[in-house]
Amino acid sequence: MADNDPDRRKFLKAATCAVGTGVGLMVAVPVIRLVVDPATRTTVTGPTEPLDLGNVDRFRVGAPPRRVEVIAPMVKDGWTSARDVVLGAAWIRRTEPTKIEALSAVCPHLGCAIGWEGKDFLCPCHDSRFSVTGEKQSGPSERGLDPLPVEVRNGRLQLTWVRYKPGSATREQV
């Protein structure tokens, strides 16, 4: 008669469900935290300090702009880190012995790579042209090339990499 006791069966069902739910939560909570944790913080970190582009003497006064790859020594994301990551490129031009200018090699229109065409810069994607100083000459680009901060320290060229939002008339950092 005790085997057919409805209260006992209800209690055993409830206890089994409670234990199963508890075990399931004990497994699920750490897994969910592992997956969601990187979404709660900045997951990609790049260089915050200026990057060394080498000896300043490799850039001659009055020479055409020179394309230089910008390489970060370390980039980290939520799960891994990588060394010597190419962030992009910059066009470096030395106008005076103490004056150096840097322009991003990323087209401000849609982010294509900018090339040097002998006397001006050209975006091959949509035929935007820019002067040697980066000013827009023609094409669909809404603004000129984006300047990058540079300085010379102990004879070494230091560049701060900045990414700007493409497709806008104003410069907004990404």
DSSP letter for each residue of 110-154: T-PBPEE-SSSEEETTTTEEE-TT--EEESS-SS-PPB--EEEET
Asked if residues 157 and 54 have their Cβ atoms less than 8 Å apart, the reply is: yes
3-state secondary structure 70-91: EEEEEEECCCCEEEEEEEEEEE
Burial string for 35-49 (b: 16+ CB within 10 Å, else e) reads eeeeeeeeeeeebee
Q: What is the pLDDT along the chain (174 residues), one digit of tens a residue?
A: 455 677 888 888 899 999 999 998 898 888 888 888 767 766 566 667 888 888 888 888 888 999 999 888 887 776 778 888 888 899 999 888 888 999 999 999 988 899 998 899 999 888 899 999 989 989 898 999 999 999 998 989 999 988 888 888 888 887
170 - beta bridge partners?
A: none
DSSP H or E segment with residue 11: helix 6-36
Nearest to 149 by CA among 107, 105, 104: 104
pLDDT tens per residue, range 65-93: 999 998 888 877 767 788 888 888 999 99
Q: How far is CA 31 from the centre of its chain?
A: 28
**What's residue 38's pLDDT?**
67
Task: Report CA dihedral (102, 139, 136, 57) to the nearest 10 degrees.
Answer: 30
- Quick one: pLDDT at residue 148? 92
Burial bucket for residue 112 (CB in 10 Å: 0-12, 13-18, 19+): middle
Which phi and psi angles does 124 have, rounded to 5°?
A: -70, -15
Chain-centroid distance of CA 128 in Å reads: 24
Q: What is the pLDDT of residue 105?
A: 92
